[in-house]
Structure 1
């Protein structure tokens, strides 16, 4: 299996690399608690269509090694950037879901744009969902602390109880099979307790309001109208306004788990975004060659 070591502390991190080596590159960063498996409905068809699809298992998640430290946004962004360096990837589209959107944004604001050409932020918690100077309308921190206590007491019950809201399963077309819901809950439980709580702390402290205006590259923002984990007005709509070159696509009836409930639409939108980036890169190379 493909692994590399984090330059921060040597933690062994797992990744997958699918599709042709010469295709346009998409690098996927998953939600909290889960690994690369959450992207199966996007990675497989995109790789089959000729895109190179790479996905990282965050430390303490999926098949990556557990670690006691490193559950802060800078370290997680450093791990992601190290993957780009390890594979020497160029003209990358970084695609993040939920807290993964924070990691991809911090990756470019911390490490620059030498390897990254565009971002796709799917059901993101960026710029932040908890009340802070940059998100004054966010959730009360006391409510977050109370929720953390419930989470620590029984993670299995916590994930199971929130599954319907996660998928907005009460809305037409959003019903997922009980088998898939059970599978995803099991994947969430595969994250170590330390990693799970560490990433929750990242979400609680997240405030990217001042960073997003510096993300000077095309950004696709995909968000659902019924995302209870990251309400549209607080997250997706704000991100699209804050970045210089943002495109907002709103999915009617979409919840936080739209990567599954709206899988075909999301895959099509990502493919269009990736292909547009590849065409732009080819035009740039052609113009440069013509000017020699």
Structure 2
């Protein structure tokens, strides 16, 4: 456990951002990148399996979330990919496996777009927003812009109330009460509630409106997309399905009946899929 200081986007020492990370195990490094609006804590049920499978497991908090610093700005994928690069550089990592959940898939894509794959061996996108969530003329299966604007207005009006309802949709809770407890739902709400309000708001444009299609076309390492076919948050067609079509020789694993938060509701199966892929 500790902090690294970002440098890529800092104009001076006062602009540097401290990113909190946790580092367990030995072996090939696996970096876990969390979804919105959570923190590294969302990976609680993956970390142990990854370490026990013989990997070094590193998870960190995106700027504005968890225990990382909360700058007023920098909640765009260029900056957040630079933060990821600073983490990799500061920890002197190589042969890295990157695993991104939901919004975290955007960091994977933009990292490759900006820095290539010299230090990367594999990529795993889980319930990912990449490559493009927004509905446009050339992305007709995307989400209408009005939806993201409604998210932002709801957060400005009643952030905590919005997060409570979002958490239920995250789990498709009515359909998954046997797979995830009310206590887990409340715990995730607490994590989200503790994030920077400004970061929570600004990240909506990042994950909702950033076109990462050209970034994905640059991927040249083994890549796996995992998505639940009952995801009510991130539709699979413009994201994982399109990503699979864009990334040459990639694989797509669809989990039957899984909601957006499949890391919690289908943990055993999800972990097995991930471990089998990163071991292969």
How big is the shift at 1:48?
2.4
- 2:145 paired with 1:141: yes
2:217 alignment partner in structure 1: 213
- 2:67 paired with 1:75: no
Contact 1:224 1:255 survives alignment (8 Å):
yes
- 2:12 paired with 1:12: no
1:94 alignment partner in structure 2: 98
Matches within 5 A, 1:264-279: 264-276=268-280
Q: Which deviates further from its counterpart, 164-173 or 175-184? A: 164-173
1:120 alignment partner in structure 2: 124
Q: For each residue in 1:197-233, what CA deviation from the matched residue of structure 2 results, as whole angstroms up to 9, or x when unmatched?
A: 1211202222112221211111110000011111112
Contact 1:224 1:258 survives alignment (8 Å):
yes
- 2:231 paired with 1:227: yes
Q: What SS is found at the alignment partner of 2:231?
A: coil
Unaligned ranges ≥5, structure 2: 11-15
Q: For each residue in 1:121-172, what CA deviation from the matched residue of structure 2 results, as whole angstroms up to 9, or x when unmatched?
A: 0000111211235523322212321231012211211121133321123336
1:156 alignment partner in structure 2: 160
Q: Which deviates further from its counterpart, 193-202 or 142-151? A: 142-151
- 2:46 paired with 1:42: yes
Contact 2:112 2:215 survives alignment (8 Å):
no
Distance in 1 separating the partners of 2:135 and 2:174: 28
Q: 1:104 aligns with which of 108, 111, 123?
A: 108
RMSD between superposed Cα atoms in Å: 1.5
Distance in 2 separating the partners of 1:167 and 1:82: 32
Distance in 2 separating the partners of 1:157 and 1:225: 27
How big is the shift at 1:174?
5.5
When the two structures are superposed, what TM-score results if normalisation uses the length of structure 2?
0.93
1:60 alignment partner in structure 2: 64
Q: What SS is found at the alignment partner of 2:63?
A: coil
Distance in 2 separating the partners of 1:190 and 1:44: 25
Question: Number of residue pairs matched?
Answer: 274
Q: Which deviates further from its counterpart, 106-115 or 205-214? A: 205-214
